[in-house]
Amino acid sequence: MKPVKVGVLGLGTVGGGTVNVLKRNAAEIARRAGREIIITRASAKDLNKPRICDTQGIALTTDPYEIINDPEIEIILELIGGAGPVKDMVLKAIENGKHVVTANKSLIALHGNEIFAKASEKGVIVAFEAAVAGGIPIIKAIREGLSGNQIEWLAGIINGTGNFILTEMRDKGRDFADVLAEAQALGYAEADPTFDVEGIDAGHKLTILASIAFGIPLQFDKVYTEGITKITRADVEYAEQLGYRIKHLGIARKTPEGIELRVHPTLIPERRLIANVDGVMNAVLIKGDAVGPTLYYGAGAGAEPTASSVVADVIDVVRALTSDPENRVPHLAFQADALADIPVLSSDMFRTSYYLRLNAEDKPGVLAEVTRILADHQISIEAISQKVPLNNETSVPIIMLTQITLEKEMNAAIAEIEALKTVTGKVNRIRLETLG
Ligand SMILES: NC(=O)c1ccc[n+]([C@@H]2O[C@H](COP(=O)([O-])OP(=O)(O)OC[C@H]3O[C@@H](n4cnc5c(N)ncnc54)[C@H](O)[C@@H]3O)[C@@H](O)[C@H]2O)c1
Ligand SMILES: N[C@@H](CCO)C(=O)O
Ligand code: NA
């Protein structure tokens, strides 16, 4: 059979890694796919930039549409990124009857509903394994491996840059800015790294995971998002004294009222495997009703780990070239006409435990005032400890862990606690999940 011709848009970290893996493993890949797969054309913004890949044998252009409109090309790899100009590129490729493989989570999270509808209309595949948790085959695991289950919840460390920063800060006492610069140099970070540190990238990935886990349309605008920039060294230490690690998690949970979609720093018991996932590694913990908890671990970013997923998608597409479109794995795991309209809950409706840190005057009755406010809001305290004052301060840090409570009640209680004359400054609140 003739080789399958592939065109690549974008030759940066992921594009370069993909060229390298497809070339290096060509023979093995052909044995798996049943056909030789070759990259014949690639588009780059700057043709003379130094690259991590060898482009010998690949015709380069600065115009992606030359490739998108090339009738010889069967599969387009969109590895440019962003939800701007690439949206039209992907829609045009689909329009031209080409299959698309992308690593672009913002594109899928923001425009996936439209893109998948168009792809179904045209009978082509849009594959996006590399968009979530880099090299971990998490899309395939949920969409195919767990398809007999009702998924109850999932929780994941799904931003490599953020986990790398938190790990280096905790283990080596390094500065935030310094570690972020290293993550950028290593090719882990997004073009705009605020996407990594403010939880937006994790929010994009959570949007995708929740859709394929629960069979709901993609709805990034409903994800509650908090980043890692407000995590302090003191909180990391206090959490550890209590037996917890602070990780930045994306959590999707089905409740009787609706679905919680939230991205935020989270205390998790240090004995959990996921609490010990460090550096650029990602992990996703999924609870299915039949299988119980399952955990997936691997590199969340970087050229070749991400390329591993891109290439696997290319092979899947090649294997599916001869199948009828209706017999393929649905883009969002559930049949497109069977997506459910389950409400996504506002953050007021979240139910979780909390770690609270506040500074209070060191005198009798202060703790009683704080605990009375919590009791008024039906919030039970799991643990409480008073720390030694820092320097010569007259106020003392108080750390509390609560039992599961409604976030609306917690917000109201925090407002009342902050209004107390004996409490100085803000209450620092971090959610806590036992993930059991
Ligand atoms: N870097 C990672 O570890 C990683 C992991 C998973 C997913 N992703 C996703 O993969 C995509 C690519 O990320 P990256 O890290 O490789 O970014 P990158 O910046 O290294 O590469 C993108 C490349 O696209 C080029 N480009 C921009 N406009 C172009 C155009 N019009 N035509 C052709 N080329 C153009 C840029 O010059 C750049 O070389 C993004 O969607 C990103 O979110 C990245
Ligand atoms: N910037 C992303 C790339 C992988 O999606 C991260 O650090 O996880
Ligand atoms: Na993946």
pLDDT tens digits, 181-225: 999 999 999 999 999 999 999 999 999 999 999 999 999 999 999
Distance CA 120, CA 58 (A): 30
Sign of CA dihedral 311, 115, 297, 174: positive
Among the bound ligands, the one closest to the CA of 312: 3
Rounded to two decimals, the pTM is 0.97
64 lines ligand 1 (CB under 6 A): yes
65-80: per-residue pLDDT in tens? 999 999 999 999 999 9
DSSP code of residue 148: T
The predicted pLDDT at position 387 comes to: 84
Which residue has the least CA distance to atom 4 on ligand 2? 301
State the architecture of 138-301 in CATH terms. 2-Layer Sandwich (3.30)
As annotated, the active-site residues are 205
Give strand pairing partners of 431.
Answer: 266, 354
* 60 sits in which H/E element: strand 59-61
State the architecture of 4-136+304-338 in CATH terms. 3-Layer(aba) Sandwich (3.40)
Binding residues for NADP(+): 9-16
* 262 sits in which H/E element: strand 259-269
pLDDT at residue 417 greater than cutoff 80? yes
Q: CB within 8 A of 322, min separation 6: which ones?
A: none
| Interaxial angle between packed helices 200-214 and 105-122, expressed in degrees from 0 to 180 and rounded to the nearest 10 | 40
The topology (CATH level 3) of 348-432 is Alpha-Beta Plaits (3.30.70)
Among the bound ligands, the one closest to the CA of 135: 3
The predicted pLDDT at position 393 comes to: 73
Distance CA 50, CA 391 (A): 52
Which residue has the least CA distance to atom 37 on ligand 1? 45
Ligand 1 centroid to Cα of residue 340, in Å, is 33
With beta carbons less than 8 A apart as the criterion, state whether 188 and 158 touch: no
The predicted pLDDT at position 13 comes to: 98
* Environment of ion ligand 3 (residues, CB < 5 A): 129, 132-133, 136, 138, 309
Prediction ipTM score: 0.99
Domain extent listing, the chain = 4-136+304-338, 138-301, 348-432
Of 161, 184, 263, the residue with max ligand 2 atoms within 8 A of its CB, to mutate for a pocket test, comes to: 161
128 lines ligand 1 (CB under 6 A): no
Ligand 2 centroid to Cα of residue 212, in Å, is 20
